[in-house]
Chains A and B, each alone.
Chain A
Amino acid sequence: MSKVRWRRAGAIYVDIALLGVILLLYSPRLTGLPVHEWLGVALGLPVVVHLLWSWSWIRTATTQFIARRDARARANYIANWILFVLIVVEVASGIAISEVALPAFGVSTINDRTWRALHNQTLNATLLLLGIHAAMNWRLLVVGIRRYITIPRLLGVKRRVSTPT
């Protein structure tokens, strides 16, 4: 597998893992609070990898945003920034009111009502922006999955080759 192909496949796997982790974070009744908190802390890693793998896009989009080229691309750029801010706020407020993760390091926390409300209210906006982010990049995601995910091929599903955008 060439380096470019390996990177693109890796990016798709990281995206799928990221989506899985986020959905698990939205289900504390399934994971329980300790796993919820540790998953939240661990979320930083796939987010950073996702951003690093999208770095060329970030650079180009920033340049285009400043140059005011395309309204749709600008909206996508702003939506991505809002999503990043929401995820950071979500994780930070979660850590601030954590009952397991921070106390495990010997740091005592207070279950503050305001931080708790911020944590709970940011959830809905994050889900909305996450959906918009996925919708915006849907074609790239589908093409990537068809090209690089091996499970459908193992199941005998024929791979459809299409030109990436």
Chain B
Amino acid sequence: MRVAARVLGILLVALAIVVTVLLWLGPPTLAREYVVKSEVARFAPTIGHGLIQLGGESFLLAVVIYASRRWFRVRL
């Protein structure tokens, strides 16, 4: 019961954030449609590009963690 209440609390906060963004931007409309042939085809998975992207993002995250701890003294 306590866990359910906490989950409900988390979901309500998330819902409040979504509603705020929805009120700010408005719902998606055809007037603002981004025209592209097929996003699914555009993001067709490829091992080479995919691994480069995964490695790049992991490296970027590692740099942020390293810089935060080493130079900006981000720690508890």
Given contacts A23-B57, A34-B40, contact A97 B65 (CB under 8 A): no
Given contacts A24-B54, A32-B43, A115-B28, contact A93 B33 (CB under 8 A): no
Q: Which chain B residue lies CB-closest to A34?
A: B40
A135–B75 touching, CB < 8 Å:
yes
Q: How many A-B residue pairs have CB under 8 A?
A: 133
B33–A111 touching, CB < 8 Å:
yes
B64–A127 touching, CB < 8 Å:
yes
Q: Secondary structure of the A side of the interface? A: helix
Provide the bound-state CA to CA distance between A97 and B29, in Å.
Answer: 11
B75–A139 touching, CB < 8 Å:
yes
Residue picked from A23, A30, A92, most chain B C-beta under 10 Å: A30
User: What's the nearest-Cβ distance from chain A to residue B59, in Å?
Assistant: 11
16 other contacts beyond A27-B54, A112-B28, with CB at 8 A cut-off?
A29-B43, A29-B46, A30-B50, A30-B54, A34-B40, A36-B43, A52-B3, A92-B18, A97-B28, A110-B30, A113-B34, A118-B25, A127-B57, A131-B64, A134-B65, A136-B74
* A-to-B contact residues, CB < 8 Å: 23-24, 26-36, 48, 51-52, 55, 72-73, 76, 84-85, 88-89, 92-93, 96-97, 99-100, 109-116, 118, 127-128, 130-132, 134-140, 165
* B-to-A contact residues, CB < 8 Å: 3, 6-7, 10, 13-14, 17-18, 21, 25, 27-30, 32-36, 39-40, 42-47, 49-54, 57-58, 60-61, 63-65, 68-69, 74-76
User: Which 4 pairs, one residue from A and one from B, show the smallest C-beta to C-beta distance?
Assistant: A30-B50, A131-B64, A112-B28, A135-B68
